[in-house]
Structure 1
């Protein structure tokens, strides 16, 4: 059995842990009273830091981890550490003020976050410029997913994956798999990526056996149509494993309540701070230019496919096909004021009232007209999955450029793809990221905002 080669540096994680413990304990000396700088408090703080980080996966940061995920880990870690610090200090050091503890937590968060992101991005630059901290990988199989992975490895050298060879298995499969094994051993390959759809069950078992017995990491690529692309979850009924095809974080009660709290607070803030003075101005301009109501009300499908009335500032002349035809570029139905409020997305602001009453979310799949929903439900695969969660004023698909008019089949397919990714990977930080991206796009202006 060969010794495994090319492992992640065994010093990175211990170094990170040491630096974090050093920082939080030094911050006690700087920001808290001298009486707290004793062996008892430093021990309690350090032990709880390690326990929380273990259960929260705080140090589970890999080369493919995204920056937003690291920020999420930091926030979770410091929220829990903050609660424990307040509780412990309140119990033992009643003379220490809440302001002192708050400053200590905030300053420690900033410094720890700086060090954590510095290490993360330093390693990316180190891999990119010097080729260090890399993993040698090979790919076995062929297909669209294999081609995409090759492009990813080639175009993203900062991730530190060095693709040394690939075996497409288009010839004698048995012979090529044998060559692949020899190559992996002789060239000290760290990871093997194999395409499931190219291999039989016996060949997959054979590669797993080889990887396990030669200390190689093996990972599998699904084909774009394969069930394994789904966000699978395994549950146990007694000792019987049951596979669920997808997990939806917003089915968990605490996540649902957290998102609702965010929606309520954010929508109330927009209604009070923006709509309270903007609505009379927009209403005056709409009435000045054309006859009709200030608000446009339209039936849309929301959570569990239930219909609700979606509100917008009216941007078109009254017309009998408003509920049937999407707005198109240079649409003659749009008024002068309507063109401006649509370009700046001001027309969508009344939907914060829908959010306030719980019919919509700030972030989620954009709802379609009922007639279009019925049409897409019949023609677009997985379209109805979007209705497992509340629709949103903005969404991941919209920040990726798939907003407004559906001009081609690709537009709606990509919109559904991003919506499903969102509902399977929801987090509050993802919501914040999408809101910020939406604001940036609104300021810059978008090509399909008409």
Structure 2
């Protein structure tokens, strides 16, 4: 896997080399976290994973509940702003691939003009996308458009942290992801997340190049291998700093 990823990085610019270096560094950090924060008293791997899954779901329910209560004034203000600035519903609903490949309806604040919305999701959002409304640009820049997914988390369709849920037949370098890399369906063995390891490492947005598509999948698979409460807390912290405060969306 490392050789394959290295080939993509070597083909291009300094940015690609940096992406690879960050990927290798995260693998090292996650491996260390898995060792330090594992439960040594529980030797059985299945029992340990069940405990981790229970703790993760507890964190999801608590985090989503507290988030919805504390953020209610902000959510209400955003809803009013959307209704006042463009015709159409407050929420955008779309089918996404969830746990074990099952479909669910994801919730987002609507950021595009109604007549330009692509409910299939195959047409990916690009920088300065003309379909995005004025308030939508702010929401996407701050990533506030993702906040309604706390409801998806609360009802068990999503997690706070995990691979981002994709639309069916999402494209990677111009072909369906499952054709691009046969490991693609392996990312669906856990609940999808509002944020993930790929996102805090800058692998977000378009997947129209082999590098961007490959690196996003690599981070997703590394997260699944090393997932733990410690890793989730680290990703959540970095998401708050990187995504909400610095505004890396578009």
Q: Fold conserved (TM > 0.5)?
A: yes
Moved over 4 A (4+): 63-71
Residues 1:269 and 2:71 aligned together: no
Write the deviation string for residues 217-250 of structure 1: whole angstroms up to 9, x where unpaired.
xxxxxxxxxxxxxxxxxx9xxxxxxxxxxx8x79
Change (3 A) 1:292 1:71: same
- What's the offset of the Cα at 1:375? 1.4
Match of 1:72 in 2: 37
Match of 1:337 in 2: 135
The RMSD of aligned alpha carbons is 2.7
Helix, strand or coil at the partner of 2:73: helix
- What's the offset of the Cα at 1:371? 3.1
**Contact 1:250/1:426 (<8 A) preserved:** no
Aligned runs of 1:176-195 on 2, under 5 Å?
A: none
Match of 2:161 in 1: 363
**Contact 1:316/1:334 (<8 A) preserved:** yes
- Distance in 1 (CA, whole Å) between partners of 2:191 and 2:59 is 14
Change (3 A) 1:70 1:378: closer
Match of 1:256 in 2: 53
Range with bigger deviation, 399-408 or 336-345: 399-408
Change (3 A) 1:64 1:262: closer
Of 96, 107, 125 in structure 2, the residue corresponding to residue 311 of structure 1 is 107
Flag the structure with larger Rg.
1
**Contact 2:60/2:160 (<8 A) preserved:** yes
- Distance in 1 (CA, whole Å) between partners of 2:176 and 2:205 is 17
Match of 1:350 in 2: 148
Change (3 A) 1:343 1:439: same
TM-score normalised by structure 1 residue count: 0.45
Of 423, 428, 435 in structure 1, the residue corresponding to residue 236 of structure 2 is 435
- Distance in 2 (CA, whole Å) between partners of 1:250 and 1:378 is 34
Match of 1:425 in 2: 226
Aligned runs of 1:45-444 on 2, under 5 Å?
A: 68=33, 72=37, 252-274=49-71, 276-318=72-114, 319=116, 321-323=118-120, 324-372=122-170, 375-442=176-243, 443-444=245-246
- State how many pairs are aligned: 215
TM-score normalised by structure 2 residue count: 0.79
- What's the offset of the Cα at 1:342? 0.4
Gaps of 5+ in 1: 1-62, 81-234, 236-246
Write the deviation string for residues 96-122 of structure 1: whole angstroms up to 9, x where unpaired.
xxxxxxxxxxxxxxxxxxxxxxxxxxx
Write the deviation string for residues 100-156 of structure 1: whole angstroms up to 9, x where unpaired.
xxxxxxxxxxxxxxxxxxxxxxxxxxxxxxxxxxxxxxxxxxxxxxxxxxxxxxxxx
Helix, strand or coil at the partner of 1:252: helix
